Structure 1
Amino acid sequence: MSATSLRAAWVALAGLSAVFLFEMLDNSILNVALPTIGRDLHASTVALQWVTGAYSVVFGGLMLVFGAIADRYGRRRIMLAGLTLLALAGLATAFVTTAGQLIAVRALMGVAAAMTTPGSAALAFRLFDDDGLRVRAMTFISTIGLVGLAVGPTTGGLVLAIAPWQVLLLVNVPVAVLAIICIRSGIEEDAADGLHRDPVDVLGAVLGTAAIVLALIAPTLFLNEGIRSWLPWTTAAAAVAAAIFFVMRQRIAEYPLLDLRLVARPLVAAGLAYKAAAGLAISGLGYLVTLQLQLDWGWSPARAAVGLLPQVVVLIAGGAFVSPFVRRAGLDRAAWLSAAAVVTGLAVYGTLSRFGYVWVALALVLVAAGMRVVGAVAAVNVLRGLPGNRTTIGAALVDTSSEVTSGAGIAVTGTILAATFTGAIASPSWTAHQSAQFEQAVTIAGLVLTAMAATLVIWALMRTRAVRESVAV
């Protein structure tokens, strides 16, 4: 039976919020501990990079697969299994003695995240019949996660002052236990008519996973190896080839992992495009602003953190305004208006950021406000555009589109910086010529990201508008 209010489903929402909190908190709380981990485990720079990278790559690469599995065997069942794996991986942290072991634990946590995160959106969607309640539920869940993302570095620093770094990952154990208790008691087993029993397309799963994993690895290789190295270009080409073979396989498979006809539905396609535009913006803008404040303007890390506060405040406090805005504008209009705010923020940054911090702050606010609405509305639109027995892979698609375009945003900005800026970008003192080069790179990268995000938003808007006009006729 569907809940008629958030209060009626508070136990289930507490469990699903704990799942999203784990996803948001995991990397942010660990980043501050990387120097300590490096000293303790005698880890190289590359090994430390994979301490966080292993989680992200495995998480992003396996979401589609576990989304498809959950739609076949039960979303609640797969989520509980993932939470159990998370608790066990957290406990294993206490026994880690080498960087390789820690990377393996982080990969297991990535598997757990892939098993749980898409299911959290699908289960939240299933709790309610009313779209307004669905938006409110997803806004509430995402707010809890964003609070974790915001306080993660500070919390991690305070914990490290009094406890070993292993505690930062052991905290996943009580989070997982809380989520298991709430989900078991607050969410019913999946009904048989809400699942499907099509065989799993193993070849499609391998090709899809390979395409996503390679797409997530390529940006890091572009930044580490440089645009003149053959390795990042080969990896990017392999990602494109795997994606093409995946699409071809899905077109001919009797039981495809991902039915492309469902993805082509207007609500689904538009929702994914809006979410992709937001992912592109938040990653590219975050990367550029961090470099600009600290390297170009010479701000200390603490002052730069304060400079990013407008974005943090909007992401956390903005949740209170999402539901009223959606009620007034409607789901479809709210989606394109918020996505347009993201594009506007990128345009402001690309054209005006060189003229002072006030323009940077305005860009951060616009992108954060747009992303705050898109995060809830795009997911609801995608899920309501799919059959009930395909909602988890739909949620996985939403998260995957954001993960892949986030990597693309960093790859685009990093490549433009590498092509424009001469010398070591991390050098403590730049020449006037280097500062001019950086400002030029920021302008080019900001406008390229604006064009990419705008293309996605315009395409999505045209896709849904054409359908509305055909229905009206």
Structure 2
Amino acid sequence: MSATVTEAPPQGRATSLRAVWPAILGLSVVFLVEMLDNSVLNVALPTIARDLYASAADLQWIVSGYSLLFGGLMIAFGAVADRYGTRRVMLLGLGLFALASLAVLAVRTPGGLVAVRAAIGVAAAMTAPGTMALCFRLFDQDNLLMRATAFISTVGLVGLAVGPTVGGLVVQVLPWQALLVLNAPVAVLAVVCIRRGIPADDPAHRNPAPLDLPGTLLGTATIGLALWTATLAVEDGWRHAVPWGVAACATAAGFVGHERRTAHPMFDFALLRRPQVSASLAYQAGLGLGLAALTYSVSLQLQLVWGWSPAQAALGSLPQIVTMIAIGPFVERFVTRIGAHRAGPLGAGAVVAGLLIYALLGRHHYAWIAAALVLTAAGMRVVMIIASVTIMRGLPEDRTSMGAALTDTSQEVAGSVGMAVTGTIVAAAITGALSDVGSSPAATRHFEHAITVATLVLTAVCAALAVWAARRSARPAA
């Protein structure tokens, strides 16, 4: 990657994080609630099932409805924000977020909660692209942009780490609805900070092209179907997932064909010829695959093979989150010292090394798993921050929201694919149910062998993407 540090920022841009603290606080809060809403409600699912008489299918939609709309709509709202104002779309999204969260007080049926979660997913998709795009608007110096990105993402990671614990404590003393109602004052705080700390959108910096509605619908359908296909492949097997996968391929072909023909495409594929853009997306996709390999496999191994409880398994995965939080403040100094063109490949190399340690040694002792989690987390943190900054620098100013949405979506889709690949290989190796893995030495060996194969497959793809991205980013910008 080739992010560079400018010597002096033009007039009007901040020269420190402290100078724009309301904006940084507001964007941090936005990212925090996005991370919390991914996990905080899971701890209350048994209570929700009893309270609303929800079935297993209802619970699946309560969880999946949010993630599918959040992941599927990010690029669409990135395109909308570039045309109508990133700050405006962010504030509208926060307003919808608060109203939808309060609407849970009127929920009396599982369908009502699914609708509320869907509305919250739409709101999160409206706010997500703006977090990085508005941060980019504040600074011209890349070291400050990396520092701000590290701080904002650290706040979100803290929320991800403590979310289930906080959710469990809240449910002990308050109704489960409080988990969503608490989003409303947080959203109001974010609105106040962003309105105070970030200037209104400048019409001169918007994308003047009209919104490509057919392309937006096709792109959203493609991503949504891809995420749903991967979800079904993990939960129900490929027999149920294949028809949806065929539909995803069909909409993808329609999207590409339409975008190449239309005069004003939602996404200009010519931007992928820019080394900074394509390399950053490849890095993010590789990280999504690597994260999926560990997230899925480690939890299963600790519980099914070693007999750990869910709480113990959650604690066993903490080295990953703790490392990501701890290393955040040092990334900017590390990149400044050795250069982004070296830091990116080194970070990706750490991810690959960590995956190999887990694949080859993780079955023998938890110490190897902890080492793998720490190494991959450190590498991911470095690459994520560099890739986010680099793709923003590689795009025109009127495409920054789309760029932010692309980075998040590429990692999320790759993560879903990685989960599906791992789940497929494990399912093919095991004749009975997953719960039977620890019942016999043979079943345990088959499971461990499948995890090793799946992790090595994803590691190979991750390494290939990293090598391609490193070579691509070494080319001069077009």
Taking structure 1 as the reference length, the TM-score comes to: 0.97
Give the match for residue 453 of structure 1.
462
Cα offset, 1:373, TM superposition: 1.5
Q: Deviations over 1:308-342 (max 9, x none)?
A: 12112102111122111111122232222212211
Poorly superposed stretches of 4+, deviation over 4 Å: none
Q: Aligned letter for 1:342? A: V
| 1:318 aligns to 2:304 (yes or no) | no
Aligned counterpart for 1:212 among listed residues 220, 223, 237: 223
Q: Deviations over 1:152-211 (max 9, x none)?
A: 000011111100000000111011000000001110011122112211111111111111
| Matches for 1:77-96 after TM superposition, within 5 Å | 77-96=88-107
Cα offset, 1:224, TM superposition: 2.5
Q: Which runs of 5+ in 1 are unaligned?
A: none
Contact 1:293 1:299 (8 Å CA) reproduced: yes
Q: Aligned letter for 1:257? A: M
| 1:7 aligns to 2:24 (yes or no) | no
Cα offset, 1:429, TM superposition: 4.2
Q: Secondary structure at the match of 1:426?
A: helix
| 1:189 aligns to 2:200 (yes or no) | yes
| Matches for 1:310-389 after TM superposition, within 5 Å | 310-389=319-398
Give the match for residue 8 of structure 2.
none
| 1:57 aligns to 2:68 (yes or no) | yes
Q: Which runs of 5+ in 2 are unaligned?
A: 1-11
Q: Deviations over 1:197-234 (max 9, x none)?
A: 2111111111111110011111221122223x1x3012
Which one is further off, 341-350 or 145-154? 341-350
Contact 2:86 2:201 (8 Å CA) reproduced: yes
Q: Aligned letter for 1:292? A: Q
Q: Aligned letter for 1:327? A: T
State the number of aligned residues. Answer: 467
Once residues 345 and 259 of structure 2 are traced to their aligned partners in structure 1, the CA distance between those partners, rounded to angstroms, is 29
| Matches for 1:75-224 after TM superposition, within 5 Å | 75-224=86-235
Cα offset, 1:443, TM superposition: 0.8
User: Taking every aligned residue pair, what percent have the same amino acid on both sides?
Assistant: 56
Give the match for residue 281 of structure 1.
290
Q: Aligned letter for 2:103? A: A
Q: Deviations over 1:14-73 (max 9, x none)?
A: 110010001001121111111111111111111111111111100111111110110011
Cα offset, 1:428, TM superposition: 7.5
Q: Deviations over 1:271-326 (max 9, x none)?
A: 11111111111122111000000001111222222211211210211112211111
Structure 1 466/187 Cα, relative in aligned 2: closer, same or farther at 3 Å? closer
Contact 1:288 1:442 (8 Å CA) reproduced: yes
Contact 2:233 2:420 (8 Å CA) reproduced: yes
Q: Aligned letter for 1:132? A: N
Q: Aligned letter for 1:117? A: A
Once residues 339 and 245 of structure 1 are traced to their aligned partners in structure 2, the CA distance between those partners, rounded to angstroms, is 33
Once residues 237 and 14 of structure 2 are traced to their aligned partners in structure 1, the CA distance between those partners, rounded to angstroms, is 52
Once residues 105 and 438 of structure 1 are traced to their aligned partners in structure 2, the CA distance between those partners, rounded to angstroms, is 38
Give the match for residue 277 of structure 2.
268
Give the match for residue 254 of structure 1.
263
Once residues 292 and 189 of structure 2 are traced to their aligned partners in structure 1, the CA distance between those partners, rounded to angstroms, is 31
Contact 2:66 2:121 (8 Å CA) reproduced: yes
Once residues 136 and 416 of structure 1 are traced to their aligned partners in structure 2, the CA distance between those partners, rounded to angstroms, is 40
Contact 1:274 1:336 (8 Å CA) reproduced: no
Q: Deviations over 1:62-90 (max 9, x none)?
A: 11111011001100000000000000001
